[in-house]
Amino acid sequence: MPLPRLKTLLALWCLAEVIAFALAVHLVGLGWTLLAILATTALGFVLLKRTGAATMLMLRATFQGHGPQARRTDGTVVANALAVAAALALVLPGFLSDLAGLVLLARPVRRRLAASIGRGRLARTFAAMGGEVRRGDVKASDGGPGSRTVDLDPAEWRSRDPATRKLPS
């Protein structure tokens, strides 16, 4: 995308954010509007802390070709990166960026975007890097009756201490 076009889009986005802020102030008042912005920013920081580190480790392993996540093209890495993008959008002040972040937080949206990205650019990038492009090692369950498989992303679970059954602090 040419730089002048990007500047124009950024200026239009900022103008739309200002209009949305003014509309919110008009509808609910300045105090509630500022509280909403602070709350979504805090939510963004919490989500960023929760998903950011795990996603960065996964991305590093993917691009260096190490570990079980290496060369995955099933969308897990991209879906986790989109979760981080959602958290960053929530951190930014403004209602339109918050809306974009909340939409990206929806798992079906992230998976659909990740699948479309994974089919195209990501797979071509891995192939261009000289790596073998293959599906992920972990197969998701169909979720049908009698299914005992729970498919969680790495950022969605933590190990418990087997002796005490408590989460590490």
pLDDT of residue 136: 43
Angle CA 68–69–71, to nearest 5: 110
**Residue with token string 């996964």:** 58
User: How many CB atoms sit inside 10 A of residue 168's CB?
Assistant: 8
Dist CA 56 CA 83 (whole Å): 12
Tell whether 91 is covered by a domain.
Answer: yes
- For 28, residues 6+ apart whose C-beta sits below 8 A from its C-beta are 36
Does residue 122 belong to any structural domain of this protein? Answer: yes
Structural domain includes residue 80:
yes
pLDDT of 118 reads: 64
In a domain, 121, yes or no: yes
Segments in 65-163 forming alpha helices (H): 76-91, 95-105, 107-117, 123-128
Total residues belonging to the chain: 169
Q: Indicate whether 53 belongs to any domain.
A: yes
pLDDT of residue 1: 59
- With respect to residue 11, please indicate whether it lies within any of the assigned structural domains: no
- Name the nearest CA neighbour of 85 among 44, 116, 42: 44
Give the pLDDT confidence score for residue 103 in this predicted structure: 93
> Per residue of the chain (169 residues), what is the pLDDT tens digit?
577 888 999 999 999 999 999 999 999 999 999 999 999 999 999 998 888 877 777 777 766 765 555 445 456 777 788 888 999 999 998 999 999 999 999 988 888 887 777 666 655 655 555 544 444 433 444 445 555 556 667 776 666 666 776 666 6
What is the three-class DSSP state of 119? helix
3-state secondary structure of 66: coil
Q: How many domains does the chain have?
A: 1
Is there a domain that residue 137 lies in? no
pTM above 0.85, yes or no: no
Domain extent, residue 103, equals: 38-131
Residue the block writes with tokens 């060369």: 71
β-sheet bridge partners, residue 72: 134
Is 33 inside any structural domain? no
Q: Residue 62 has what pLDDT? A: 67
